């Protein structure tokens, strides 16, 4: 199927052939008939991508600070690679979609009904059920494509809370502004619209508003005073896009005492305190479509807010806009300025620079369903060869695309299929790294020619996908963790022993040059050791998927397992016992499990503690390792600098760039895959670390 994408590194907009998205629980698969280009938001995205480095930095100072913090701790190379990779990712455009349901299993949306959603500009989209709404029979597809923009306007109006007869100013008469005008008039308000564009002012007048045409040097303050009968307007809704602070100042001067100002657009916010203070004005920023926006539980888990307590969610705002369209209170037909076929999407985006453009529609009517539902796309002309080294990937997220895939490619792997949930990331990363095909179906990765499956999906999928691949006789490289429960580990271990295939987990740190050096030094001293390992990991929101026990397993299972494995490797002895202590529950922190001290003892007498802390500062090293043995100490700082104290013949080992062992890990794995020999990590250690990690996490939760 075709999808409109943007290259963040140079601003290029292009049409890409990608696999159809995979079905997902709580989501609807939709065949698109129309979509609307949001001229304000999408022009801003395109302009940002086309801007230079200095302009980007000025517009996102918080991101600049993050980059500088990473540079201080991880060095130039790691920081440069991270920024370059981020900008290299294609960005899917669009959020105003209309189509027919292909599959709505267990969502309440039946096949073939017409729906509106915030789906991308693509021939087939997958959208969560709470971001989808039925289209009434009296609303055609073209009009329905304005629903999402209408919901943004609706939320701004709801926050202004206008009553019948109130005077409301709408500053900025773009698509959202003109829909805002119509909603206010339907609500019984008197409306004054302000804009520089005479054509847009004429449309606002056509909808029933009085207007201020700034291109004709009309004075908005004078007209607003007369419009409000010299009492001051009741509210101002700002739907403009500008860097100027004057728009908010102007709104403050227009308002009556205790008036309301609602910001829907993007403007300068250096406020004049005196005008707000003297009139006791209320200022509020509106968040997109309404309650539920950016809330993962609502949008992706499908958990609705109780109707009696949250009357207007983003989905119910969609429905309200559609009802107003059905009754004729909102008429968007005059807002349509251009129509394009999806094949001409690039030409459509060129119209963003045309000041006369308003509603730019993309049409998808000439595509058949059969041609759209292909889950696999061939992206190179190479032929898969039956040999040790054919590698298929499940998952193409940040870590897979930035680290794992390039490392396997450099190790000489023959990359066959890249399978992702969405499809567009598989095409981009697949083409860049020389994969044969991109797909959204796991079966594509289990082809007979595939020797090994690399699993880099969400943590709750690792065990089931590992078992599927083992059943097909494939070797496994699974990015940690191996599994989230003991039952899953037992099943994988039993199948591995029976199939004799190799199960490898991406515990890369034991393969880093510094750790290999430490190991060689310790092996020369066959005495018990003492370890102190610190992971200054940084805070992650409770709402992040890795913190979800059922999906991510929590950060101990998902990340601290690295250091449990590392300590096991350096001790060279089986784990005998362990204990764990977390920070006490308090009123300041959402999660305490990721602020823990883990103590481990080994059968050879070695002991160690892992300090896994999410409450540290980003300017401090993320990882620090200290080893005490036989009157000597080793200290490794952030996988950059290793210092030896009391070691004969060794004092330091420094690297120019951070090396956590990912490349060596994969090189060793690929060598074993091709040539046989010793497995990189003994299978008993793989399962031992997986079980201990789960036990420690459960201990902390108790």
Give residue 381's Cα distance to chain centre: 31
Residue burial 358-390, b: 16+ Cβ < 10 Å; e: rest: bbbbbbbeebeeeebbbbbbebeeeebeeeebb
> Which helix (H) or strand (E) covers residue 576, if one does?
strand 575-582
* pLDDT score of 70: 52
* pLDDT score of 40: 80
The structure tokens 């494939």 sit at 474
Given pLDDT bands bounded at 50, 70 and 90, which one contains residue 677?
Answer: confident
Given pLDDT bands bounded at 50, 70 and 90, which one contains residue 23?
Answer: confident
β pairing state of 437-439 and 414-419: parallel
* pLDDT score of 610: 98
Given pLDDT bands bounded at 50, 70 and 90, which one contains residue 66?
Answer: low
Q: Length of the chain in residues, anyone?
A: 702
pLDDT at 29 exceeding the cut of 80: yes
Given pLDDT bands bounded at 50, 70 and 90, which one contains residue 380?
Answer: confident
547-558: per-residue pLDDT in tens?
Answer: 999 999 999 999
Task: Look up the CATH number of domain 509-701.
Answer: 3.30.360.10
70-91: per-residue pLDDT in tens?
Answer: 555 555 555 545 555 555 677 8
pLDDT at 496 exceeding the cut of 60: yes
Q: What percent of the chain has pLDDT over 70?
A: 92
When pLDDT is averaged across residues 173-202 and rounded to a whole number, the result is 97
Q: Which two tokens stand for residue 207?
A: 């909808």
Given pLDDT bands bounded at 50, 70 and 90, which one contains residue 576?
Answer: very high
241-255: per-residue pLDDT in tens?
Answer: 888 889 999 999 999
* pLDDT score of 542: 86
- 3-state DSSP assignment of residue 285: strand
Homologous superfamily of the 2-146+332-369 domain (CATH): Medium-chain alcohol dehydrogenases, catalytic domain (3.90.180.10)
Given pLDDT bands bounded at 50, 70 and 90, which one contains residue 702?
Answer: confident
- Compute CA distances 616 → 61, 540, 543, 598, whole Å: 22, 12, 19, 17
Of 204-218, 341-355, 384-398, 620-634, least confident by mean pLDDT is: 384-398
Fold of 150-285: Rossmann fold (3.40.50)
CA neighbor of 180 nearest in space, from 267, 262, 96: 262
pLDDT at 572 exceeding the cut of 90: yes
- Classify burial at 253, counting beta carbons within 10 Å of its beta carbon; exposed 0-12, middle 13-18, buried 19 or more: middle
* pLDDT score of 375: 87
- Compute CA distances 571 → 17, 74, 358, 564, whole Å: 51, 27, 67, 11
* pLDDT score of 355: 82
Topology alike, domains 150-285 and 376-499: yes
* pLDDT score of 508: 97
Given pLDDT bands bounded at 50, 70 and 90, which one contains residue 382?
Answer: low
Mutual orientation of helices 462-471 and 486-499 as an angle, nearest 10°?
A: 20
Cβ contact 480:561 at 8 Å: yes
Of 347-356, 454-463, 514-523, least confident by mean pLDDT is: 347-356
* pLDDT score of 541: 86
pLDDT at 373 exceeding the cut of 80: no
* pLDDT score of 86: 57
- CATH number (3.30.40.230, 3.40.50.720, 3.20.20.10, 3.50.50.60) of 376-499 reads 3.40.50.720
* pLDDT score of 185: 98
Given pLDDT bands bounded at 50, 70 and 90, which one contains residue 365?
Answer: confident
Question: How far apart (Å, rounded) are the C-alpha atoms in residues 505 and 685?
Answer: 10
Half-sphere CA count of 62, side-chain side, radius 13 A: 0
Contacts for 672 with CB less than 8 Å, ≥ 6 apart = 502, 678, 679, 680
Given pLDDT bands bounded at 50, 70 and 90, which one contains residue 585?
Answer: confident
When pLDDT is averaged across residues 574-582 and rounded to a whole number, the result is 97
* pLDDT score of 500: 82
* pLDDT score of 360: 96
500-551: per-residue pLDDT in tens?
Answer: 899 999 999 999 999 999 999 999 988 999 999 999 999 998 888 899 999 9
Given pLDDT bands bounded at 50, 70 and 90, which one contains residue 41?
Answer: confident
* pLDDT score of 39: 85
Question: How far apart (Å, rounded) are the C-alpha atoms in residues 412 and 620?
Answer: 36
DSSP label of 306: P
* pLDDT score of 372: 75
When pLDDT is averaged across residues 351-375 and rounded to a whole number, the result is 83
When pLDDT is averaged across residues 324-338 and rounded to a whole number, the result is 97
When pLDDT is averaged across residues 5-18 and rounded to a whole number, the result is 86
Could you give the angle at the alpha carbon of 153 between the alpha carbons of 149 and 155, nearest 5°? 115
* pLDDT score of 151: 98
Question: How far apart (Å, rounded) are the C-alpha atoms in residues 495 and 670?
Answer: 22
Which residue ranges make up each domain of the chain?
2-146+332-369, 150-285, 376-499, 509-701
Given pLDDT bands bounded at 50, 70 and 90, which one contains residue 69?
Answer: low
The CB density around residue 294, as the number of other CB atoms within 10 Å, is 11
* pLDDT score of 588: 80
DSSP E strand boundaries for 71-216: 90-92, 97-103, 114-117, 124-128, 132-134, 167-171, 190-195, 210-213
- Averaged pLDDT of the chain: 91
């Amino acid at each position: 199927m075709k999808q409109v994408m943007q290259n963040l590194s140079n601003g290029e907009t292009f049409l890409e052939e990608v696999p159809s998205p995979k079905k997902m629980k709580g989501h609807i698969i939709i065949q698109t008939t129309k979509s609307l280009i949001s001229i304000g938001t999408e022009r801003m995205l395109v302009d940002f991508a086309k801007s230079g480095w200095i302009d980007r930095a000025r517009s996102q100072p918080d991101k600049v600070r993050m980059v500088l913090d990473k540079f201080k701790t991880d060095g130039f190379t790691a920081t440069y690679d991270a920024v370059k990779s981020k900008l290299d990712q294609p960005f899917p455009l669009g959020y105003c979609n209309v189509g027919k349901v292909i599959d709505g299993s267990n969502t309440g949306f039946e096949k073939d009904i017409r729906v509106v959603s915030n789906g991308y500009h693509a021939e087939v989209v997958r959208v969560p059920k709470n971001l989808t709404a039925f289209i009434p029979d009296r609303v055609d597809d073209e009009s329905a494509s304005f629903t999402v923009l209408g919901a943004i306007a609706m939320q701004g109006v709801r926050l202004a809370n206008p009553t019948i007869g109130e005077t409301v100013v709408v500053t900025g008469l773009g698509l959202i502004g003109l829909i805002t005008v119509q909603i206010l008039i339907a609500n019984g308000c008197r409306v004054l619209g302000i804009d520089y564009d005479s054509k847009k002012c004429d449309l606002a007048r056509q909808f029933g508003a009085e207007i201020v045409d700034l291109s004709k040097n009309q004075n908005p303050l004078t007209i607003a005073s007369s419009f409000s009968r010299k009492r001051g307007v009741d509210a101002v809704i700002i739907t403009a896009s500008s860097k100027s602070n004057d728009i908010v100042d102007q709104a403050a001067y227009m308002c009556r005492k205790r008036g309301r100002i609602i910001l829907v657009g993007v403007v300068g916010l250096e406020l004049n305190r005196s005008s707000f203070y003297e009139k006791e004005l209320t200022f509020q920023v509106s968040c997109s479509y309404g309650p539920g926006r950016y809330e993962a539980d609502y949008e992706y888990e499908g958990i609705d807010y109780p109707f009696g307590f949250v009357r207007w969610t983003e989905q119910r705002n969609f429905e309200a806009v559609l009802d107003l369209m059905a009754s004729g209170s909102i008429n968007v037909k005059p807002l349509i300025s251009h129509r394009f076929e999806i094949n001409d999407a690039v030409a459509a985006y060129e119209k963003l620079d045309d000041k006369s453009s308003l509603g730019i529609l993309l049409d998808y009517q000439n595509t058949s369903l059969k041609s759209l539902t292909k889950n696999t796309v061939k992206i190179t002309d190479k032929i898969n060869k039956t040999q040790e080294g054919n590698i298929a990937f499940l998952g193409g997220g940040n870590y897979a695309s930035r680290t794992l895939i390039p490392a396997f490619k450099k190790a000489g792997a023959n990359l066959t299929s890249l399978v992702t949930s969405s499809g567009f990331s598989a095409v981009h990363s697949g083409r860049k790294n020389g994969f044969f095909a991109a797909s959204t179906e796991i079966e594509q990765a289990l082809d007979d020619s595939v020797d090994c499956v690399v699993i880099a999906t969400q943590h709750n999928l690792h065990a089931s996908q590992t078992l599927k691949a083992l059943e097909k006789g494939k070797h496994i490289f699974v990015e940690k963790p191996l599994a989230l429960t003991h039952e899953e580990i037992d099943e994988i271990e039993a199948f591995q022993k029976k199939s004799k295939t190799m199960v490898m987990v991406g515990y890369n740190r034991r393969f880093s040059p510094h750790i290999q050096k430490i190991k060689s030094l310790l092996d020369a001293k066959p005495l018990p050791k003492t370890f102190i390992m610190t992971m200054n990991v940084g805070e992650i929101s409770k709402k992040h998927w890795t913190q979800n026990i059922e999906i991510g397993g929590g950060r101990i299972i998902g990340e601290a397992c690295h250091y449990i494995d590392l300590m096991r490797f350096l001790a060279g002895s089986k784990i005998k016992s362990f204990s764990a202590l977390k920070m006490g529950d308090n009123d300041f922190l959402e999660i305490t499990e990721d602020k823990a001290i883990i103590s481990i003892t080994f059968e050879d007498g070695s002991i160690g503690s892992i300090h896994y802390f999410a409450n540290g500062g980003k300017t401090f090293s993320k990882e620090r390792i200290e080893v005490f043995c036989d009157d000597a100490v080793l200290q490794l700082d952030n996988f950059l600098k290793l210092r030896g104290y009391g070691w004969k013949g060794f004092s330091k080992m420094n690297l120019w760039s951070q090396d956590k062992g990912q490349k060596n890990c994969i090189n060793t794995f690929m060598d074993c895959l091709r040539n046989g020999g010793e497995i990189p990590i003994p299978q008993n250690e793989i399962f031992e670390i997986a079980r201990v990690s789960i036990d420690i996490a459960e201990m902390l939760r108790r």
